[in-house]
Amino acid sequence: MANALTIAGSDSVGGAGLQADLKAFEALGVHGCSVVTCVTSQNTKGVSSIFPIPPEEVSSQLVSVLQDVKLDAIKTGMLYSADIVKAVSTNLKGIRAPIVVDPVMAATTGSELHIEGFVETLISRLLPMATLVTPNIPEAERLSGVKVRDERSARKAAREIMGLGPDAVLVKGGHLKGADAADYLCWDGKVVKVTSPRLDVEVHGTGCAMASLIAGNLALGLDLEDAVRTSKSMIFKAVLAREKVGQGVPCANPLAILRTEAQKATMLQELEDAAAQLEHMLDATLLPEVGTNMGYAVLGALEPDEVAAFDGRIVRCGTRAKRIGCARFGASKHVARIVLAMTSKDPDARCALNIKYSEDNLAMCRKAKLSIASFDRAKEPKGVSSMTWGVLDAIDRRGSIPDIIFDRGGMGKEPMIRLLGRSPQEVLFKLERIVAGRPRR
């Protein structure tokens, strides 16, 4: 097992600090060690007191770990004072494990988490030792002297902080405006933009968890950019799975990735159960020439391999439908693009099914009183994924996710109707409403 160390403050409500760090390590299957720098009295509404651990005791904890454990990564969080920074940096000299420095200066609730002299000592003593520094916008402004208002100034701040000596800098741009939540990784002579869908919520512990996930992924052997990208995806899921543990700001849930993995077997079974119903419900009038498929994404899915589908589709066999192959994750990039586009607009909208386009079928959708939107393939820009562009175009023009998105095809492209929903059962319910409205023969 890989070992990672967090050097951070204790959060009495358990949403940030070393408690969040240890959860992040555990989510990755990494053993977590800890050195306590401060004991805080705080909850989801604010910080009421901070008790700094004497620097000699911080050193004692750190020495005890270093003498016994082979560390694969180290993460620092709230260090609070110049004396604690000195104690940590002195004991980390010569350590070969990657060091991720989260320059914690304030809590999500706004409380200051450092005293005079801290920032200057952090810059002079610890940043030059760092493999990666992970400031948010206010911290990046303090370290760089650059007012960060947009992507251009975020990139400039990252380069300025690089001049302070770390190997890499990740400016977390969650506070910037934009359709996506963008971070800016400066390393190896370049600045790379790393994005995830924006969630306009305030959540406690995201900075701590993000830095710890990166450290944990480095401990597992990922290179820096892969560690950042993987952690960005994981923190997106942690925010989606946030927990309302108190009366104030909700807490990020770094263990969400474990819950997601645990749900995958159930999701595959839901698809298998849906297949049996689809074989009964679909006939030649509803089956496209290319066959049909149902996609079902995990909560917070960002990649095709997080979307389950049937690896052989459901095809026409005589006049009936026949499922070919089993449900598995990553089985269909085509249906995954539909689902990922949809879920980027609403994380709870995670399932889609395509059926045959005809004017009769479209009329049945309207008769079933399902909301409908469409896109025109003739207007598709060059160099884009047809399904991603088409679904997003239909949703954006309607202003919300409909029950149905259709298109009338194009050169070499079969027209199609797509049923959208939160789960296979919801999509099947919509299909039942369509089937119930067909003319009796």
Nearest CA to 324 out of 335, 313, 333 is that of 313
For residues 124 and 265, state if they share a domain: no
Residue 109 pLDDT: 67
CA distance 113 to 313: 55
Looking at 257-261, 280-284, 333-337, which range is the least confident one? 257-261
Question: Does the pLDDT value for residue 108 go beyond 80?
Answer: no
Burial of 378 (0-12, 13-18, 19+ CB in 10 A): exposed
Q: Is residue 13 part of a domain?
A: yes
Residue 441 lies in a domain: no
Residue 341 sits in which domain range? Answer: 259-436
Closest CA to 403 of 425, 429, 391, 421: 421
Same domain, 25 and 102: yes
| pLDDT at site 440 | 60
Do the domain assignments include residue 340? yes
CB 44 within 8 A of CB 114: no
Give the sign of the dihedral formed by CA 206, CA 212, CA 215, CA 216: negative
**Residue 277 is encoded by which pair of tokens?**
């119903």
Whether the pLDDT of residue 234 is over 90: the answer is yes
Mean pLDDT of 214-239: 96
Q: Is the pLDDT of residue 113 over 90?
A: no
Of 199, 221, 254, the domain-final residue = 254
Mean confidence (pLDDT) of the chain = 93
Q: Residue 370 sits in a domain of what CATH number?
A: 3.40.225.10
Q: Which carries the bigger pLDDT value, residue 176 or residue 367?
A: 367
User: Do 247 and 265 belong together in one domain?
Assistant: no
Amino acid at residue number 115: I
pLDDT of 46-105, one tens digit each? 888 999 999 999 999 999 999 999 999 999 999 999 999 999 999 999 999 999 999 999
CB neighbour list of residue 399: distance below 8 Å, 6 or more residues apart = none
The token pair at 291 is: 């066959």
**Count of domains observed in the chain:** 2
154-170 mean pLDDT: 96
